Chain A
Amino acid sequence: MFEFWRKKKSALVAKNRLSIAIMSDRGGGKNYPFMDELKNEIVTVVKKYMGVRGVEVKKEVDGNFEAISIDVFLDKRS
């Protein structure tokens, strides 16, 4: 009977699922809204160690799986 009390409130589940679904709907299925921010932060971190020419972040969808692929282009001199 304790299962009943431990059950997560379904309204909260709904809110979380909706937020994510709508976020990806709005991005036209191509991007997450935080892509630019993520890009900038990666540049900052890598720059601590070496020169960076650019960063490319792509969302890839394959069936039920979503992945983020990140390419970091380094400066030749370093």
Chain B
Amino acid sequence: MGLGIVIAVISGKGGVGKTTAVANLGLGIAMNGKSCAVVDFDIGQRNLDMILGLENRVVYDIVQVMNGKATLQQALIKSKVEDNLRFLAASQIDDKRVLNSQKVKKLIDELRAKFEYVLLDSPAGIESGFEHTIEFADAAIIVVNPEVSSIRDADKAIGILDSKSQKVKEGGEVGKYLIINRIVPDMVQSGEMLKSEDILDILNIGLIGKIPEDSGVIDASNQGKPVILDKNSEAGQAYKRISARLCGKKVDMKDVESADTSLFKKLAGIFK
């Protein structure tokens, strides 16, 4: 089996939906028939396990694997809903010094040999934990909200990605794909929320998907069942489209912003 692609999911600012994106894209990629591992790199703040509904199955974590206290095989947890998906938990010990480049590289090489896709859930911010997540990744997915602080922090994170990525240091290029999350169509239409084109202009990277604000996301995390499994969720559908794109399928970009959100449409929805 060939080597898989390693994608770091980053944002700069916290709370924009990074972990939700990792959980849903991991599931989505697995649903496309590809083997996928999702890895929580947010040492000290384990969360991906909750979003995936796997918090009760965690026995070994990423730090134990890196320190040789457990094998990768022992620590990988199988998804309840998708045979192709495996999950590696973050450690709850909040000492980020346990990570070092050598150990991270060894782990990522091992994951790359086992899976077609490896998604790394980066900690927020631009500290060492973030740098370790991006160092050996082939590509990055940047998650932003249409809001000034998220976009500014994302630009900062992209700058660090460009200077610290191993691939860039070797003269290559690290792929960068933007997800705009939590779009409120009404607000974009009334000029009270940044349009996707404006965000792309400012950040100057390619778009891989737009996700509308959707109360189903909270409902999904309450239950530990990622929203992509909810057929009636707009956000879930958006994650399906992005996952398909990541698997090399051509899916038209849906114009999330001009979605009809009129009362009439909502009423019609009830009687569907």
A70 is an interface residue with CB less than 8 A from chain B: no
A12 proximity list for chain B (CB < 8 A): 191
| A residues in contact with B156, CB < 8 Å | 25
Q: A76: CB under 8 A from chain B?
A: no
Within 8 A of A (CB), among B119-159: 147-148, 151-152, 155-156, 159
Stretch at the interface among B39-47, B61-69, B169-177, B192-200: B192-200
Q: Does A69 contact B (CB under 8 A)?
A: no
Distance in Å: Cβ of B16 to nearest Cβ of chain A:
15
Q: Which residues of B contact A9 (CB under 8 A)?
A: 190-192
| Number of B interface residues in the complex (CB < 8 A) | 16
Given known contacts A11-B198, A15-B198, A19-B202, A25 and B191 CB-to-CB distance under 8 angstroms = no
* Central interface residue in A11, A12, A21, A26, by most chain B CB within 10 Å: A11
Chain B 100-136 interface residues, beta-carbon cutoff 8 Å to A: none
A18 touches B192 (CB 8 A): no
The complex places the Cα of A14 from the Cα of B149 at a distance, in Å, of 10
Cβ of A58 under 8 Å from chain B: no
Task: For B147, list chain A residues within 8 Å (CB).
Answer: 14
State how many residues of chain A have any CB contact under 8 Å with chain B: 13
Q: Report the separation of the CA atoms of residues A18 and B147 in the bound assembly, to the nearest whole angstrom.
A: 9
B192 near A10: Cβ-Cβ < 8 Å: yes
Cβ B193 vs Cβ A18 within 8 A: no
Residues from chain B with Cβ under 8 Å of A61 in the complex: none
Residue of A nearest to B155 (CB): A22
Cα separation A49 to B151 with both chains bound (whole Å): 45
> What are the residues of chain B within 8 A of A25 when measuring CB–CB?
152, 155-156, 159
Interface residues of B (CB under 8 A from A): 147-148, 151-152, 155-156, 159, 188, 190-195, 198, 202
17 contacts between A and B (CB under 8 A): A9-B192, A10-B191, A10-B192, A11-B188, A11-B192, A11-B194, A12-B191, A14-B147, A14-B148, A14-B194, A18-B148, A18-B151, A18-B152, A19-B202, A21-B152, A22-B151, A25-B155
9 A-B pairs with least C-beta separation: A9-B191, A15-B198, A22-B155, A11-B191, A11-B194, A10-B192, A14-B148, A18-B148, A14-B194
